[in-house]
Chain A
Amino acid sequence: MSIGLLAQYVINGMMLGMMYALVAVGFTLFFGVLDVIKFSHGDLVTGGAFAGLAIYSFLEHIDGGGTWWITLVVAIAAASSMAVLGAVIGRFLVLPLRSAPSLNTLLITLMAGTVVRESIRLFYPGGSQPHRFPGLLGARAFQIGSLTLRLDNIVLLATGGLLIVGMHLIITRTRLGLAIRAVAQDEETARTSGINFERMVLLTFALGSVLAGIAGVMNGLYYNEINFGMGLLLGVIGFSSAIIGGLGNMYGAILGGFLFAALQTIGAVALPFASAYKDVFAFAAVIVFMAWRPTGLIGERVSERV
């Protein structure tokens, strides 16, 4: 195998890892503040991609498309609309069920995800078919020896990296992050210190959902195609990645995302004849991993599930 091809696989794997990591960080944030898993999270990725596409189709008529600010607007629109949706789901479906059995939270977020997914399928024009996502970042590429480096891939990787670093800085360096960490550590103490618990929870939901929305747009830009069911796979893998890294641990989630992507990429390289089965392997890997290490590789501070 040539160096160029190998490098291409590495870049593919990193792109995949970046998307998984973005989704996984959302799961881990929610679990941190409220000890809940939002199964609707994966569908917010789809939601972000379609929101971005909708804004693009609208702006295309004004500008003709192709300028950098459109990309920015698309990303911001996807991120902010998903932030609102994530907070709304949190406010009306997750928070009211806090005292109910955890099975109910699980069911209600699963159903919320279904509502999002089905709404896209039914109400987005032609939503039941895969949609082409415009290549907003252009197709410029550099040739370094046998390696072709595409500019859009670099931009996407850099954006993802910046987002994760930004999220890290928000959590560790700002007053908002301090409040979120306080809520995650001890709800009652946080409340007595004058932190508005509900607001912090909803803000966390919004922050995590921003990442999902961006991941959706990234997904569209990278594969140039989106469909209403894509969030299901990303949600399952994102959740698994968060578990691999030990839920509630942000670095673990990032690591888990990249590990999962590496596993999938290596699988694709090692078994090229079985490429049709790549999703089957991904899901099988989730199941095997849960059997092997249900508390993740890094381990959680507190584990209540085994």
Chain B
Amino acid sequence: MPAAISRGRVSASAVAAVFAAGAALFLAVESQRGMLALLLAAGALVVAIRRLKGLRPFLQAASEHEETGALAGVAFTLLLCVLFRDDHFTVFLIGRVLLATLACLGLHLQFGSAGVANFAGAAFFGVGGYTAAILSAHSPIPHIVAVALGGAVSSLIGSLLLLPLLRTRGHYAALITIAFGLLFRTFAEVNDSLGGPQGLKLQGFQLFGWQFNEELAIGPFHGSFYINYVIAAVALLAIAFALVRGLDRSWLGLALDAVRLDETAAAAFGLEIARWKIVAFTLGNFLIGTAGALSAFMVGFIAPNNFTFAESLTFVSIVLLGGIGNAWGVALAAFIVVVLPEKLQILQEYRFLLFAALVIVVLRYRPQGLVPRPLRRYFRGLA
């Protein structure tokens, strides 16, 4: 059915375009009043789309062409960078959204796939960041390797928690990760070699002589140096997204789902619970640590105050608002959670309160999240 396939591709690109246009509007609006109007318009649009039954087959077709949507997403993200090329702050925000999405994909593996609660997201993010800061300051290791090592060290430190995590469940496992998150932050604050409360500075990221902290210039095109970081973040995110979605769809994802939904039943079907939890937790921490490492390079400095328990809960809010287990929802929620407080300045101070309250409302009235996890579809074209 070549016609149907091409219709799906077009639909997927169109959906990506709508989101990109929305993102562009949110990033472009400066005034507080314009922002509020935009929020209302977005809300109305969502309601309208849910009401319009005629759109259903269109969205259905789009959801069958994720790869096209993802490619379009990459293209539109880069287009956004071109659009806002002189605006450091906006490009920086785009970078933060991408890295938050990357970190939350890690949490998505832990929470959404295997059901391993991790309330130390910010701590693992910080482990990656501190690793990158120390390696880039004290060793000649190439920065790209430092970023990868940030992820690896994050996994390694996470593996220290594996024994207690595997022996416990639910609230008890949550207690362990909460304790670790608080431990890490206190440790970074009192340890002098980690810079204490002032934290550490990082030099700009370098990749084969490509200086990320210099203004981007390709022929006649000039843009903010943050575009370099956005390109790197897009590349990392694309790899991670392909990995996570591939995992979600494969038999591995099926095994993880089984472990989350019913450990006893999964064990009865011959799945080794411990192994799957280890896979999800370690891989998740790797993604979080990688995001933290690149983020540290992009921001240029790290301090314990960026890795508080409240930040960990913000990561959890992103995963939860996106709909636990839905990688696309995570990306959308990351955009909302990162951009909204930056653009609506009145919210900045109140953001932890706001998102905590928002999560409470979502849990009470829409526990499946903003974009619920779709049912697993085993064959393309079967609705």
Which residues of chain B come closer than 8 Å to A111, judged between CB atoms? 313, 317, 356-357, 359-360, 363
Inter-chain contact B360/A93, CB cutoff 8 Å: yes
Q: Decide if B16 is an interface residue (CB 8 Å cutoff).
A: no
A276 to B187, CA, bound (A): 9
Q: Decide if A224 is an interface residue (CB 8 Å cutoff).
A: no
- Residue from B187, B356, B360 within 8 A of A280 (CB atoms): B187
CB distance from A288 to the nearest CB of B (A): 8
Inter-chain contact A243/B172, CB cutoff 8 Å: yes
Which residues of chain B come closer than 8 Å to A44, judged between CB atoms? none
- Residue from A103, A279, A290, A294 within 8 A of B117 (CB atoms): A103
Contacts A236-B179, A287-B176 given; does A108 touch B187 at CB 8 Å: no
Contacts A240-B175, A286-B175, A290-B175 given; does A279 touch B364 at CB 8 Å: no
* Chain B 124-147 per-residue mask, 1 if CB under 8 angstroms from chain A, else 0: 000000000000000000000000
Q: Decide if A232 is an interface residue (CB 8 Å cutoff).
A: yes
A294 to B172, CA, bound (A): 8
Give the interface residue-count category, chain A.
35 or more
- The residue on B at minimum CB distance from A237 is B179
Point out which of B161, B320, B349, B353 has the most chain A C-beta atoms below 10 A from its C-beta.
Answer: B353
A286 to B168, CA, bound (A): 13
Which residues of chain B come closer than 8 Å to A233, judged between CB atoms? 182
CB distance from A68 to the nearest CB of B (A): 37
Point out which of A39, A93, A110, A233 has the most chain B C-beta atoms below 10 A from its C-beta.
Answer: A110
Inter-chain contact B190/A283, CB cutoff 8 Å: no
CB distance from A75 to the nearest CB of B (A): 28
Inter-chain contact A283/B367, CB cutoff 8 Å: no
* Chain B 332-353 per-residue mask, 1 if CB under 8 angstroms from chain A, else 0: 0000000000000000011011
Contacts A107-B359, A291-B163 given; does A118 touch B175 at CB 8 Å: no
CB distance from B115 to the nearest CB of A (A): 7
Which residues of chain B come closer than 8 Å to A97, judged between CB atoms? 363-364
Q: Decide if A114 is an interface residue (CB 8 Å cutoff).
A: yes
A283 to B320, CA, bound (A): 26
Inter-chain contact B367/A114, CB cutoff 8 Å: no
Q: Decide if A88 is an interface residue (CB 8 Å cutoff).
A: no
Inter-chain contact A306/B169, CB cutoff 8 Å: yes
Which residues of chain A come closer than 8 Å to B168, judged between CB atoms? 290, 294, 305-306
Which residues of chain B come closer than 8 Å to A112, judged between CB atoms? 356, 360
Which residues of chain B come closer than 8 Å to A104, judged between CB atoms? 363, 367
Which residues of chain A come closer than 8 Å to B51, judged between CB atoms? none
- The residue on B at minimum CB distance from A281 is B183
Inter-chain contact A107/B167, CB cutoff 8 Å: no
Point out which of A111, A284, A286 has the most chain B C-beta atoms below 10 A from its C-beta.
Answer: A111
- The residue on A at minimum CB distance from B312 is A110
A240 to B115, CA, bound (A): 22
- The residue on A at minimum CB distance from B357 is A115
* Chain B 166-198 per-residue mask, 1 if CB under 8 angstroms from chain A, else 0: 011111101110111011001100100000000
Which residues of chain A come closer than 8 Å to B180, judged between CB atoms? 283, 287
* Chain A 86-110 per-residue mask, 1 if CB under 8 angstroms from chain B, else 0: 0000000100110010111011101
Given contacts A114-B356, A291-B164, A305-B168, 11 further A-B contacts (CB under 8 A): A106-B174, A108-B360, A110-B313, A111-B359, A111-B363, A243-B175, A280-B186, A283-B186, A288-B164, A294-B172, A305-B170
> Which residues of B come within 8 Å of A, CB atoms?
115, 117, 119, 161, 163-164, 167-172, 174-176, 178-180, 182-183, 186-187, 190, 309-310, 313, 316-317, 320, 349-350, 352-353, 356-357, 359-360, 363-364, 367
Q: List 16 A-B contacts (CB under 8 A).
A: A39-B171, A96-B364, A103-B115, A107-B363, A110-B313, A114-B310, A118-B356, A122-B353, A239-B175, A277-B190, A279-B182, A280-B186, A283-B179, A287-B179, A290-B172, A306-B167
8 nearest A-B pairs in the assembled complex, by CB-CB distance = A283-B183, A291-B164, A114-B356, A118-B353, A290-B164, A37-B171, A111-B356, A276-B190
> Which residues of A come within 8 Å of B, CB atoms?
37, 39, 93, 96-97, 100, 102-104, 106-108, 110-112, 114-115, 118-119, 122, 232-233, 236, 239-240, 243, 276-277, 279-280, 283-284, 286-288, 290-291, 294, 305-306
